[in-house]
Structure 1
């Protein structure tokens, strides 16, 4: 499986990245704002939606870095910052009003990034590993 490497400079590009990172797992400690560099980074345990299932392995996960540049401020809603080991389930990433990126997590948790312009990069790091579990969401 080839490592995924994507960039987003507009809302359409970000939709592709959002699909790729849907159901990624991220520990609170692995979300970092580097204010001097105007950068926000998440280290993800990404479910590989693009990987084909095989007889030996049904599904795959890999470590990935999701990086946003040109970030002026970060706002957390319902993120347990006092619990750095808490693992969050990333559901989507979207651009709102052209000036903010919203990362939506399960349990009504969000991180909002105020940006000058969209400059986002997703890259896989390390080697993927097999997992028997495929993320599922209850049907309403």
Structure 2
């Protein structure tokens, strides 16, 4: 990567940490087929193209291939996401954490554009985000309607 393009490597173990990951992943795009839950390993992994908000300049910016992984996953539920449409593209808007009555368990909700969401039940927050490629220039900066 260019000297100023340092890859992100972040961990989240509480709701505040997860908010940082959520901000870094806002407007990340992924294919449904790149979201995988391994029930035996108790992990949920998502490969995505993350918009590098930290490097955005005006109307253009950069994207980078990133990997997001949740550990200690007890279950996953999706709403308005077609799991059979492996090539369908989803855009991540935010992630939030709702603690359960028994700490440190809870539910992470991933909210996608278009009304889809995913609820990830975890025994504890154990989330990692890592950039895994060189960044590339994109002519469009994501925008949001007011």
Give your verdict on TM over 0.5.
yes
TM-score by length of 2: 0.90
Alpha-carbon distance, 1:81 to partner = 1.1
SS in 2 for 1:92: strand
Residue in 1 aligned with 2:113?
106
Q: Distance in 2 between matches of 1:59 and 1:24?
A: 13
| Structure 1 unaligned residues grouped into runs of 5+ | none
Please, which runs of 5 or more residues in structure 2 have no aligned partner?
Answer: 101-105
Matches within 5 A, 1:32-71: 32-53=36-57, 58-71=60-73
Higher normalized strand content (fraction of residues): 1
Deviation above 3 Å: which 4+ runs of structure 1?
Answer: none
CA distance in 2, matches of 1:110, 1:58: 28
For 1:15-30, what aligned pairs fall within 5 Å after superposition? 15-30=19-34
- Per the alignment, residue 121 of structure 1 pairs with 128
Q: Which residue of 1 aligns with 2:77?
A: 75
SS in 1 for 2:93: strand
Query: Match for 1:12 among 1, 9, 16?
Result: 16
Deviation at 1:9, TM superposition (A): 0.2
Task: Report the count of equivalent residues.
Answer: 137
1:136 corresponds to: 143
Aligned residue number for residue 89 of structure 1: 91
- Cα deviations across residues 59-105 of structure 1 (Å, max 9, x unaligned)? 10000000000001000101011211000010001101241110000
Q: Which residue in the other structure is 2:103 paired with?
A: none
Partner SS for 1:50? helix
